[in-house]
């Protein structure tokens, strides 16, 4: 019976949704920090959860998003809308396609993180999270901050 249930979960794709759903739940419950590296961010569900965490007046969550400048100009990117909403978005030339999210003391990584909804994710160990935090700090120090004014100007250039 367990084999049949596992097979049905695998066929419907629900087996891969669990870490993604855990990530969304963690974003809704975040209390201290949300750190994201996503070369590209076009997942509207994830972006909305990030925006809500940043703008929630009952929580003081430190949110930082790091992206690659090329991808913020892509038509499906939601980076400019996050910057307009007041989410700190940083741009740096980073040679990686894997996305990483750290929420409080939990972490997830995945190849398509930020590009697709319900993407397969892998939970991170505490050691991986610590290495990511050091890497993230180093990349933010030389990154360009995408301001609300700059995001607005970019949107004006691409939309008539």
Q: pLDDT for 39-92, tens place per residue?
A: 889 999 999 999 999 999 998 899 999 999 888 878 788 999 999 999 999 999
Query: In the prediction, which pLDDT does 2 show?
Result: 43
- Answer whether 27's CB lies under 8 Å from 103's CB: yes
Domains of the chain, earliest start first: 18-158 (3.30.870.10)
Q: pLDDT band at 17, cuts 50/70/90?
A: low
Q: Is the pLDDT reported for residue 160 higher than 90?
A: no
Q: Average pLDDT in the 114-142 region?
A: 93
- Which two three-digit tokens encode residue 138? 């180093």
Cβ of 72: how many Cβ atoms within 10 Å?
Answer: 21
Q: Is the pLDDT reported for residue 4 higher than 50?
A: no
């Amino acid at each position: 019976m367990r084999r049949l249930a596992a097979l049905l979960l695998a066929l419907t794709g629900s087996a891969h949704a669990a870490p993604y759903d855990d990530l969304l739940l963690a974003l809704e419950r975040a209390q201290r920090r949300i750190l994201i590296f996503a070369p590209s961010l076009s997942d509207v569900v994830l972006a909305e959860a990030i925006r809500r965490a940043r703008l929630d007046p009952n929580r003081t969550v430190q949110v930082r998003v790091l992206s690659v400048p090329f991808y913020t100009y892509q038509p499906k990117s939601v980076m400019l809308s996050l910057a307009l909403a007041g989410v700190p978005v940083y741009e740096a030339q980073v040679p990686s396609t894997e996305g990483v999210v750290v929420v409080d003391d939990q972490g997830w990584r995945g190849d398509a993180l930020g590009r697709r909804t319900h993407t397969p994710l892998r939970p991170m160990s505490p050691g991986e999270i610590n290495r990511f935090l050091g890497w993230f700090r180093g990349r933010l120090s030389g990154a360009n901050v995408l301001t609300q004014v700059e995001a607005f100007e970019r949107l004006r250039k691409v939309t008539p």
